[in-house]
Amino acid sequence: MCKAFSCIIHKNKTVTWKFGIDSHEDLITIVGYKDDKDDPIFARVEISPKNGNYLDPEVPYIFKLDEKRTPSWWSISYENKCWDAQEQWLKKLNCILIRKQIIHPFQIIPPEITEEHIQLLKDWDSVWDSVRASVWASVWASVRASVWASVRASMRASVRASVRAYTGSFFLLPRDAWKYTENIKTDEYPFLPVVKLWEQGLVPSFDGKTWRLHGGKGAKILYEWVK
């Protein structure tokens, strides 16, 4: 898997990278290079924090030439060019990344359910109606970056949406950067209701009829609301 900063460098020292794209193959397609393994004209490169944590990176960053063999034309000057590109990328990331602690909602003690939590759930229901599950992948693509990959593989669509909405809260983007949210009447982050629930240890799920709030060890059902 490619790291959050990936680039390709031509043997003429042209570095290609694009903010939000971490796939070497996508970059190769964009620039139109031909991949000749016998006589390569470019090389794949990754630069990432030593601990893999972009919210609290451990320095120094690690440079990786992501090729099975080093091109004959490679020298330290090519590596330096890639470091220059990574510095530009990092400046852009620092402009939008909100560095805060990642909360695993099922590892904290959830609160007693109050009217405030119920209202947040209803607000999230309204957001869910405005942004259907079919477009969540596109919403997620608008912030494409490697921040958090746990607890999502086995969850239902509504819970996956909560994961993505929470992950999006780590990015400071213009209001109109969040695609398909035009019908959500707020000047703030459009998915804020579920973020507030999540950070208190509450995760919503929806089966098409009933909303539930889960919390605590084992993701116990703490509240149910039939629409």
Q: How much is the pTM?
A: 0.72
The mean per-residue pLDDT over the stretch 59-64 comes to 90
Domain layout of the chain by residue ranges: 5-96, 105-226
Q: What is the DSSP track for 130-197?
A: HS-GGGHHHHHHTT---S--SS-TTS-HHHHHHHHHHHHTTB---GGGSTT-TTS--SS-TTHHHHHH
pLDDT for residue 210 is more than 70:
yes
pLDDT for residue 134 is more than 60:
no
Percent of the chain at pLDDT > 90 equals 61
Question: What pLDDT is recorded for position 157?
Answer: 65
Tell me 107's DSSP state.
Answer: G
Residues 81-95 pLDDT 10s: 999 999 999 999 999
Question: What pLDDT is recorded for position 148?
Answer: 40
